[in-house]
């Protein structure tokens, strides 16, 4: 397994500073924010800009391992043109990943209801997954509230329907815990298709209408919440998981959590993860 960090926790920093902070805190793989034109990476970047960001990362000993957007949200649209555009966008994100040396591209699940996704999106997901496979990249859908991805059985139905080794799941037990979904049972259900893991600690909390999902994880420092991280790591080891485990520290953009500054939180999480990822 390889320890990485989600740069969404450094969204307030320019890419060069984000990579420097990562390295100083002991992380050398970047799950790189990509969902907007102002993100650390995005598919509108020129070839020159793509090369430059890879060099910025390498300057700090960091490798970009994942393109962390959520591309393709209209892949199950009733409008055929929207579905076709979603595939084009996913392919462009795959091309970005190739240029950056990344192995994973996060994609949207297709919506909140499984039936229309299975009816309309599967041929398009298959096309996108085929393109990803030809480029040595894997597409991953993150467990998240507000879509079918928050329901492990539905995610398995989607993965089985796409039926590609280049299409799988980001296991996000914190997100599942936040919506009162059994993340341990979810692991057992989804484990054949888990290609990436996100970790953050906390407990389920109802926030109301504050601009985000009403109920979600109230994040804490690692080891101070209700997520059984040792259990998760043991299960990953038991199934021979060899891919990335990304620390997701959200202090800088969720002030309601009242977490320490980003550098402090990332260092604490890195120390907590030392039993599974020894410091060299």
Indicate the pairing of strand 201-206 with strand 167-171: unpaired
pTM over 0.75: yes
Tens digit of each residue's pLDDT (9 = 90 or more) over 260-276: 999 999 999 999 999 99
CATH topology of domain 2-272: TIM Barrel (3.20.20)
Cα of 98 vs its chain's centroid, Å: 17
List the structure tokens of 89.
Answer: 């966008």
CA distance 147 to 141: 10
**172-223 pLDDT tens trace:** 999 999 999 999 999 999 999 999 999 999 999 888 887 778 899 999 999 9
CB-based contact 54:101 (threshold 8 Å): yes
Separation of alpha carbons 63 and 233, rounded Å? 23
**How far apart (Å, rounded) are the C-alpha atoms in residues 77 and 81?**
9
d(CA 146, CA 123): 23
Rg of the chain (C-alpha set): 18
| In the chain, where the domains are located | 2-272
Total residue length of the chain: 280
pLDDT digit string, tens, across residues 231-242: 999 999 999 999
**Alpha carbon distances (Å) from 191 to 143, 151, 162, 175:** 13, 14, 16, 16
């Amino acid at each position: 397994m390889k320890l990485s960090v989600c740069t969404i926790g450094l969204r307030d920093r320019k890419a060069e500073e984000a990579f420097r902070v990562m390295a100083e805190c002991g992380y050398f793989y970047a799950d790189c924010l990509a969902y907007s034109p102002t993100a650390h990476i995005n598919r509108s970047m020129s070839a020159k800009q793509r090369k430059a960001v890879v060099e910025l990362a390498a300057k700090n000993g960091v490798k970009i391992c994942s393109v962390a957007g959520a591309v393709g949200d209209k892949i199950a649209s009733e409008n055929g043109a929207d579905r076709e555009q979603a595939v084009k966008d996913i392919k462009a994100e795959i091309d970005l990943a190739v240029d950056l040396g990344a192995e994973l591209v996060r994609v949207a699940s297709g919506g909140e209801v499984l039936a229309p996704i299975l009816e309309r999106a599967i041929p398009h997901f298959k096309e996108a997954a085929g393109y990803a496979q030809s480029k040595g990249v894997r597409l991953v859908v993150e467990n998240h509230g507000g879509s079918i991805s928050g329901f492990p059985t539905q995610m398995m139905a989607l993965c089985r329907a796409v039926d590609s080794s280049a299409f799988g799941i980001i296991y996000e037990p914190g997100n599942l815990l936040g919506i009162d979904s059994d993340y341990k049972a979810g692991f057992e259900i989804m484990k054949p298709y888990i290609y990436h893991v996100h970790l953050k600690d906390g407990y389920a909390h109802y926030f109301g209408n504050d601009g985000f999902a009403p109920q979600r994880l109230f994040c804490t420092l690692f080891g101070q919440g209700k997520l059984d991280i040792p259990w998760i790591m043991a299960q990953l080891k038991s199934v021979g998981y060899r891919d990335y485990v990304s620390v997701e520290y959200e202090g800088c953009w969720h002030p309601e959590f009242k977490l320490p500054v980003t550098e402090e939180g990332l260092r604490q999480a890195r120390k907590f993860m030392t039993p599974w990822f020894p410091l060299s």
